[in-house]
């Protein structure tokens, strides 16, 4: 293998599942691996695999087996340190049958058992069958770059890269999980271990799932808390960060097929292109998408083209029109399977299709904001740290925010100044809606979901107990909020086009270093990504570094004020299937408030639009009819 693939597995000790479950999974995962497939059965275990060939193109078919045939594995991902692991394992007597990086998973399991995950630097989801112990082992990589879903009825267990492969087995039907719905309306995504599908779970990042014949699956975490803060000058840290980043990019350029990079107008993607250019013989290929008529902040094609010229890349770009948005959203949600509240997802899907015409692997700039403090909520955490020290003086601040009735962000800020634990504050920083709005939308109180979010946050924050609020915010973002939203979106959108997306900023070795940089050096109030920007500036032309930060965005806010807002209201009209789930009158009020400018409701309105598409595809089972043009080119 060596690459992004689709994997599926079934453990069925009693033999009651349909005999063709493996083949059904393969058919559902074909887009993830168009270069080959395989179904392997050993007693109660079935392993299914579709292959996108990147390394050892002629010889890396899966499943991969140990020398004695007792251990078999299917792997989705890349193991960046496979060469060093292979040498070590060969010294210990293991014999490799292929050049595939994935084969180290088999032999590392023979050598280290379930602890093998601690030896891997990579992005991966794998399922391994140990025929001798009659045990199935599944794992998801440390930051959750690759997704893994599972279902069990207590007798049988099914696991797959995508929900669609589980639904295709016929063992489970698509139903809405009401607790998960509250998570989605609060945070724009559903955190592991839930999904929006009742009865289908996600394996959490840095987690193992282990089960023997007939036993309930046991889950465990192998998260690695940050080491002790580094004792070095800012200049030394800046220089070392730049060097280690370029090394991480070089590790992730591992490929036997053409590769490139997504390039926006910002610093992070430009730094990846610059690092690639440093370590390549020929100019790297770069790709971007823009939105005609929306100015340089939203249509980044001119900035990206300038970065490409200054760095020296072979650059190509494409464009998305407003009239294309709903059609692209329908395609996008079918592949996302779980709404993620990311308005740029349809554009990322279109960009992935465009890029896949030239390369099979692409590097992207995701994962720089979370550990380095690039979001407004990280600045808010720094401000809350200060407010927490104000004591009684915080009360007037809280009262003042309550006066800004049309400003949901200000109201949320007021709620954050109460007597809350760190976990409660940090969860609320991510929430886009208050309890009252969600109660009006769905009719329930959401207490169970709120308690679940808090418990998940407290579990993760246990790793950094005693650290300051800002460091806790960065750690929670990286381990809980990023994996099941941004990274699942990135995986699903790129793999829909059979394109492998890699994220060098989340390289395990690099992140071990980054999380030891003192948090005050990484981020301060009004100075997010402080050290990161200075380190990346060492690689980049000054014109690129001076540009103001802006993420990959779309003009959906203005579209929601026009025809897209009407579309949201239409989908939640009284009598629609969705009216059983969401109160139509509340949706109409949100649309009206946003269109009139009385309140900024773009985040929840986009979530509702995406939810309607998900419900239509997966719950109603309705194929989308041709979409009328939205009108306007804005």
Q: Which residues are catalytic?
A: 5
Q: Please name which of 334, 305, 335, 331 lies closest in space to residue 318, comparing C-alpha atoms.
A: 305
Q: What is the Rg, in whole angstroms, of the alpha carbon atoms belonging to the chain?
A: 24
φ, ψ for residue 575, nearest 5 deg: 95, -20
CB 462 within 8 A of CB 476: no
Between CA 519 and CA 467 the distance in angstroms is 10
- 215 SS3 class: coil
Specify which residues 286 forms β-bridges with: 261, 315
Q: Is 619 exposed, middle or buried (0-12, 13-18, 19+ CB in 10 A)?
A: middle
**Helix or strand holding residue 239 (H, E):** helix 234-251
Q: Is 436 exposed, middle or buried (0-12, 13-18, 19+ CB in 10 A)?
A: exposed
Question: Can you state the angle between helices 447-461 and 422-430, rounded to 10 degrees?
Answer: 120
Q: Please name which of 615, 575, 607 lies closest in space to residue 591, comparing C-alpha atoms.
A: 607
One DSSP character per residue, 160-185 reads ESSHHHHHHTTSS---B-HHHHHHHH
**What secondary structure letter does DSSP report for 343?**
T
CB 5 within 8 A of CB 62: yes
Helix H segments across 259-393? 267-279, 295-298, 301-311, 325-336, 345-356, 369-372, 376-388
E-strand ranges in 431-584 read 500-502
Other beta carbons within 10 Å of 344:
17
**What secondary structure letter does DSSP report for 462?**
G
User: How many Cα atoms within 13 Å fall on the side-chain side of residue 339?
Assistant: 32
Sorted by sequence, the CB contacts under 8 Å of residue 243 that are 6+ apart come out as none
Between CA 12 and CA 158 the distance in angstroms is 9
Between CA 11 and CA 131 the distance in angstroms is 12
- 315 SS3 class: strand
Between CA 198 and CA 473 the distance in angstroms is 29
Mapped to the 3 state alphabet, what secondary structure does 33-95 carry? CECCEEEEEECCEEEEEEECCCCCCCCCCCCEECCCCCEEEEEEEEECCHHHHHHHHHHCCCC
CA distances to 40, 244, 278 from 510, in Å: 36, 6, 18
């Amino acid at each position: 293998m060596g690459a992004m693939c689709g994997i599926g597995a079934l453990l069925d000790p009693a033999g009651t599942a349909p005999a063709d479950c493996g083949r059904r999974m393969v058919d559902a995962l074909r887009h993830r691996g168009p270069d080959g497939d395989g179904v392997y059965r050993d007693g109660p275990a079935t392993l299914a695999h579709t292959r996108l060939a990147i390394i050892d193109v002629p010889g890396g078919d899966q499943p991969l087996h140990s020398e004695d045939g007792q251990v078999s594995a299917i792997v989705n991902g890349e193991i960046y340190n496979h060469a060093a692991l292979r040498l070590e394992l060969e010294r210990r007597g293991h014999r490799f049958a292929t050049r595939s990086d994935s084969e180290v998973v088999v032999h590392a399991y023979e050598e280290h058992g379930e602890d093998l995950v601690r030896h891997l630097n990579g992005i991966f989801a794998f399922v391994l069958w140990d025929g001798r112990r009659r045990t199935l082992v599944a794992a998801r990589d440390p930051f959750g770059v690759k997704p893994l879903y599972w279902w069990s009825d207590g007798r049988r267990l099914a696991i797959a890269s995508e929900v669609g492969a589980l639904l295709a087995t016929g063992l489970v039907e698509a139903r809405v999980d009401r607790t998960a719905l509250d998570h989605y309306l609060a945070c724009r995504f559903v955190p592991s271990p839930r999904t929006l599908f009742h009865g289908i779970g996600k394996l959490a990042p840095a987690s193992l799932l282990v089960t023997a014949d007939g036993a309930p699956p046991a889950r465990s975490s192998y998260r690695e808390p940050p080491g002790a803060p580094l004792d070095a000058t800012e200049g030394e840290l800046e220089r070392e960060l730049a060097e280690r980043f370029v090394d991480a990019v070089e590790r992730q350029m591992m490929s036997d097929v053409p590769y490139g990079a997504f390039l926006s107008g910002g610093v992070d993607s430009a730094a990846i292109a610059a690092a690639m250019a440093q370590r390549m013989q020929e100019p790297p290929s770069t790709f971007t998408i823009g939105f005609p008529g929306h100015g340089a902040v939203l249509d980044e094609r001119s900035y990206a083209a300038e970065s490409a010229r200054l760095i020296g890349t072979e650059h190509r770009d494409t464009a998305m029109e407003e009239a294309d948005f709903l059609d692209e959203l329908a395609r996008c949600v079918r592949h996302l399977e779980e709404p993620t509240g990311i308005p740029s997802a349809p554009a990322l899907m279109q960009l992935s299709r465009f890029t896949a015409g030239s390369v099979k692997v692409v590097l992207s700039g995701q994962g720089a904001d979370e550990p380095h403090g690039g979001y407004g909520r990280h600045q808010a955490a720094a401000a809350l740290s200060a407010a927490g020290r104000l004591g009684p003086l915080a009360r007037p601040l809280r009262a003042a925010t309550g006066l800004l009735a049309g400003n949901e962000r200000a109201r949320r800020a007021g709620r954050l100044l109460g007597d809350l634990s760190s976990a409660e504050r940090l969860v609320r920083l991510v929430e886009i809606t208050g309890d009252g709005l969600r109660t009006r939308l769905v009719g329930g109180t959401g207490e169970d979901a709120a308690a679940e979010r808090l418990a998940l946050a407290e579990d993760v924050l246990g790793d950094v107990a005693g650290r300051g609020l800002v460091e806790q915010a960065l750690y929670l973002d990286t381990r809980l909020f990023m994996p099941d939203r941004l990274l699942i979106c990135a995986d699903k959108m790129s793999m829909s086009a059979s394109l492998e997306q890699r994220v060098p900023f989340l390289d395990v070795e690099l992140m071990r270093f980054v999380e030891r940089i003192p948090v005050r050096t990484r981020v301060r109030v009004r100075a997010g990504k402080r050290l990161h920007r200075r380190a990346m500036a060492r690689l980049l032309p000054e014109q690129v570094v001076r540009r103001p930060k802006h993420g990959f965005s779309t003009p959906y806010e203005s579209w929601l004020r026009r025809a897209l807002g009407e579309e949201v209201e239409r989908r939640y009209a009284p009598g629609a299937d969705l009216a059983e789930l969401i109160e139509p009158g509340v949706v109409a009020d949100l649309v009206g408030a946003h269109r009139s400018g009385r309140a900024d409701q773009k985040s929840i309105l986009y979530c509702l639009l995406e939810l309607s598409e998900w419900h239509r595809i997966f719950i109603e089972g309705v194929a989308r009819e041709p979409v009328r043009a939205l009108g306007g080119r804005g």
